Structure 1
């Protein structure tokens, strides 16, 4: 999908790119102290004194972990190295979610593929239990060779998805149009590695090759804003001024257009067959 022009533009941007800064204090979490393995038994492992976490999948089970604390608004980062080789049928996730049937959720999902084919990065936003707001991308690098940073900026005004500090998607608060937006429920960070070969790779046409198991994904450098709230105080407020610097400047808007032009492969806001009665009300030209 990305031609030579797109790749060249990316190289130029990286050379001149200034890292996005945040006024919100953040700290690198220790996986031993700040997260807990939640399922999969010994398929999840915390190594190097809490600096590295691995999740594995075999034909019996996947695995997952979550943050011990909840938070309301802010920015979270995670460095991830995805399953290498033939990862068809596997899904690696990194997301925020509240609890309950009317939950809110902000998703990164990485859909595996056969060796040599690109991963698909699937993004979605749920509010009050309803999602169906998918955008999908190819990545401009091999996400299995090295760690790359995936970030979510969550503010009352908008949600920004970033890859290596490059914004790829903005979901704006359109409550004035009757579109639910996740802003009232505290969320935890979750991540998992699991088998979804009934749908993940080419709509389920390509199945998981269990002879390649176990499949393993690697995590490091989990960071989050320091405004954490306990599960018993989910109504605490968070001053928006703490994340004012997480706006997208002119350079960020150029990068956003670049990512969407060259690497977006699906946008629900252009899927007329899916919405024959008209596109959802938030599907308009974004100010970003």
Structure 2
């Protein structure tokens, strides 16, 4: 698709941005198991009040037919149109420390131009580091900590926090392209892949967002007050426990996952091992019944991609 205009505009009222800040990237869209990234973006916007510095143009970057904006209908008229947002903002953590946040929808178009622009903006602002997160479903139990696979050029993080180190090819996201381009210019970058229980992949799992924020804290030293997420997570886990306890099949499924998890943890030399790489039952077999109970809010890229 040819570009129909500039990718972004600078916000006239933007505050001055100090040099040397960490850059955090959270883009919704293709892979977001448990709604981890979407809920993290929501947390940043609702709790930390980011001040936009650069606003990217959805008319250039977004396929509206694939991810439609949200309108509000009140009886006989429309009261609101919520456009897509993708912004580079100045934000402050719970301790008042500033950082840069690139958050919003994953672009559908102009990936190379977008990546070149983001790398250029980061270089112009002399960012100290780049960290991004996304989440994929894996056959792991929700009763154990959410593990991560870490990529990039920060060996301290890849060695300490990669619980699974695959050799494979996967469909790329624009986050992967950004990581690749930042690595090419020797910028300090780390990408965290959250390994979310596959049977919770199509739910809004607050624990996944907690793991995302914890990963960002580990990489950047930033601190986040996640009490609101912890309060959301309690009733969610209670609901999961109720459904598991009410089904012998689900109980057996969970026990099998826990045994494999614990066996792998005991025998692995990785930092935080969480999965068994042997012959697990298929994700479909393990997830079928629990997904019927818990997927009360099925995956909806249209909504997640426009937050």
TM bracket, shorter-chain basis: under 0.3
Normalising by structure 2, what TM-score? 0.21
* Larger CA Rg, structure 1 vs 2: 2
Normalising by structure 1, what TM-score? 0.22
More helix by share: 2
